[in-house]
Structures are given as C-alpha cells and as structure tokens.
Amino acid sequence: MKFARTRSTAVAACAVAALGLLTACNRDSSSGSAGSGGDKPAIGIDLPRSDTDFWNSYADYMKKDIKTEGVNALPLSNSQNDVTKLVANVQVFQNTGAKAVVMAPQDTGAIASTLDTLASKKIPVISVDTRPDKGDVYMVVRADNRAYGTKACEFLGERLGGKGKVAEFQGSLDSINGRDRSEAFAACMKEKFPKIKVFELPTDWKGDVASAKLQSLLAQHPDLNGIYMQAGGAFLQPTLALLEQKGLLKPAGQKGHIAIVSNDGIPQEFDAIRKGQIDATVSQPADLYAKYALYYAKAAAEGKTFEPGPTDHDSTIIKIPGGLEDQLPAPLVTKDNVDDKTLWGNTVGS
C-alpha cells in the first residue's frame, strides 16, 4: 500500500517531557514487546483510558496490530484520563529506550511541557484522536472533529424540521475534541437552524453527569425533541436508561420520539440505530486510529517525514502548528447504512 509521500530526512520532531518517576502507571506487561523485537526501534504506547467502549475497542485494535505488524512495543501503559500518569508513563518510555511515543492526551492543554521534553530528546510523538494545544508532534492521527459537530447539527436540524429544543452533551472543553465539536455544532445551528434552541450541557465526558443534567433539563423542558451526544461510548447507556425510565424512549417514526445523534460508532450505537432508539452516529475510526498510529510511529522511528496532501488511505494530511495531522474519514451512520460491513463497529470481534 502506498501512503503520502515520504522523504528520508532526519526527524526533528516531537515530544514529551515528564516527571522523574521511575515506574509507569497502570502498565500492561502482557501486551508489551509483542513484536518480533530484534533491531526494530522500540515504540512506547500509552492508552488514554478504559472507561468507554470506544477506547476499549481502540486498545483491542492496538494490541492486535502490534502483534500482526511485528511492532517492537514497550509494555503498554494506561494513563486513565490523568495527565500526571501520562507524564510518568512517558518518562518510563524515555528511560527504556523508546524511539517514538504514541499517546492520546485527554487534557490537550496540559501536555505541552512533556512534548517539549520529548522534542529536546528527539523522540517523536504521535498523538491519537486529540491534537495538543501547544508543542511539537510528528503526526496527529484523528478525524475532523469540527465535521462531527457540523454533521450532527445538519442531521438534527433537518430531522426536526428546523425548529425545536436540543440538548447537547458536550465533552470536556479542555480537550480540543470537545471544543471542536461544540464550536462547530453551535456555529452550524446559529447559521442554518436559528429556530432550534440548544441547551449546552458540559459533561467532562462523564455519562452520569450527562444523565443528571438531562433529567434536570427534561423537568424544565418536557418538550425537548433532540439530543446531540458527543461521545456515544460515554453517554449512550445512561441516556437510553433515563429516557426509558421516563417513558420517553419512543422508536424513530413514532410520535414523541426524541431524535438523537451521537459520535463514536461503537456496536452499541449501531444496535440502537437498528432498534430506532437513536437516529445516527458519526463513526470515529477506532481501527484506523490504531493502525495509522503504529504506521506513523514506525515511520518516525525510522527517520521518515511526510508532507501535507491527500493520502491513498482516503484521508488528507494537513499542516498544523507544531506538526502535521492525518484527518481520517469518519462517516455518518444512519439506518440506511448501519449494516455496512466496512464500518469498524460491525467488525469488532471478527
């Protein structure tokens, strides 16, 4: 397979600094060094969290691809949505000879000093799903998160006929993903559907927070007729449980149905679409995140570089402050294409 153009110049890119801690937090010794090792450069990989179905699927794909691709991975760590743990884990990677680091910082503003440290050590960084606010990265592997918000807005706006009330479960606003989705959703609603009232509900990506805020909102606005969930892996189950408890979980097409659009593309969302419980989701490519994170990590460790432009894996590399970003495709999934076998949510476990 061909990828975007490369040139074998030295990589002067990326990276991360850390606290002088000697052991990593939540390390997974069973999945490290799964490749053939030998003279292959060592790759340090931190998994960001294990409290959502999306990130658990990403972890499964990562472990599988490490083996199938013969990656010389150091023992995986999991920072559990804690930037302090991430910094400590990265320090261990640095101390144990990592030639590149893969991470997915959930607090994109707090990782800058770590990136500066890694850059000073010439250890390139691949950031998955999130783009650090500051600091150098070799490559960001993510989808266009502003497009997530725009697609959700357009779908809900059209489904509601341009009028109504919509609850928006915002992800953490200290994450670029939460900001991108929220800003794009708001801009689209203001421009295209000004008669729709949007209730912005910050959640910090926590399902229980979203459920509690939705319950309060429904008490004040029982005529709510739309919901935008920025992360189905966190919000789907508690949202459906609350709506069912209140007798509001009406199937699509039935009077009283609350139109729901989500982000993630996990199998549970697909099942909910088939049942008519929700209407759509944007499929965030957990499989491609793992695949191309490893691809770029190996390329970085080998001293290759990339240039902005289209790739031949249906994405586009763009220039960002401090590096490059490969924007992978993230299709809208509805009842019309929910059974598409090319969607990763339909291939989990196969």
Under the banding of pLDDT at 50, 70 and 90, the label for residue 235 is very high
- Quick one: average pLDDT of 239-264? 97
* Structure confidence by residue, pLDDT tens digits, 162-172: 999 999 999 98
Angle between helices 83-95 and 112-120 (to 10 degrees): 10
Distances (CA, A) of 61 to 55, 144, 214, 310: 10, 21, 33, 24
146 close to 332: Cβ distance less than 8 angstroms:
no
pLDDT(221) > 80: yes
Q: Note the pTM of the prediction, 2 decimals.
A: 0.82
Q: What pLDDT shows up at residue 350?
A: 56
343 three-state secondary structure: coil
Q: What pLDDT shows up at residue 17?
A: 35
**How many C-alpha atoms does 318 have within 13 Å on its Cβ side?**
11
Q: Which domains does the chain have, with CATH numbers?
A: 6-142+285-329 (3.40.50.2300), 145-283 (3.40.50.2300)
Distances (CA, A) of 196 to 35, 165, 181: 52, 6, 17
**How many C-alpha atoms does 227 have within 13 Å on its Cβ side?**
31
Structure tokens at 291: 């695949």
* CA 57 remoteness from chain centre: 11
Q: What pLDDT shows up at residue 348?
A: 79
pLDDT(35) > 70: no
Q: What does the mean pLDDT of the chain come to?
A: 90
Q: What pLDDT shows up at residue 14?
A: 35
Q: Which of 81, 45, 266, 90 is nearest to 175 (CA)?
A: 81
- Quick one: average pLDDT of 5-18? 37
* Structure confidence by residue, pLDDT tens digits, 103-146: 999 888 899 999 999 999 999 999 999 999 999 999 999 999 99
* % of the chain exceeding 70 in pLDDT: 89
pLDDT(16) > 70: no
Q: Which of 140, 89, 99, 93 is nearest to 11 (CA)?
A: 99
Amino acid at 276: G
DSSP 279: -
Under the banding of pLDDT at 50, 70 and 90, the label for residue 34 is very low
- Quick one: average pLDDT of 48-63? 93
* Structure confidence by residue, pLDDT tens digits, 316-331: 999 999 999 999 989 9
CA 139/CA 45 separation, integer angstroms: 14
* CA 85 remoteness from chain centre: 19
* CA 117 remoteness from chain centre: 24
CA 24/CA 86 separation, integer angstroms: 8
- Quick one: average pLDDT of 186-199? 98
Higher pLDDT, 84 or 33: 84
pLDDT(315) > 70: yes
Instruction: For residue 118, give every residue at least 6 positions away whose Cβ sits within 8 Å of its Cβ, in sequence order, or none.
Output: 14, 15, 16, 17, 90, 94, 101, 124, 125
Nearest-5° Cα angle at 176, 175 to 178: 65
Under the banding of pLDDT at 50, 70 and 90, the label for residue 98 is very high
DSSP 348: T
Structure tokens at 237: 């189950």
The DSSP code sequence of 295-330 is HHHHHHHTT-EE-SEE-SSS-EEEEETTEEEEEE--
* Structure confidence by residue, pLDDT tens digits, 282-305: 999 999 999 999 999 999 999 999
Q: In the chain, how long is the greatest CA-to-CA distance? A: 64
Q: What pLDDT shows up at residue 27?
A: 58
Look-up: residue for tokens 């599988």? Answer: 64
Query: Which is it for strands 305-306 and 309-310: parallel, antiparallel or unpaired?
Result: unpaired
Low-confidence winner among 125-129, 173-177, 194-198, 261-265 (lowest mean pLDDT): 173-177
| Residues pairing with 27 in the sheet | 77
Under the banding of pLDDT at 50, 70 and 90, the label for residue 175 is confident
Q: What pLDDT shows up at residue 36?
A: 45
283 three-state secondary structure: strand
Look-up: residue for tokens 């918000």? Answer: 149
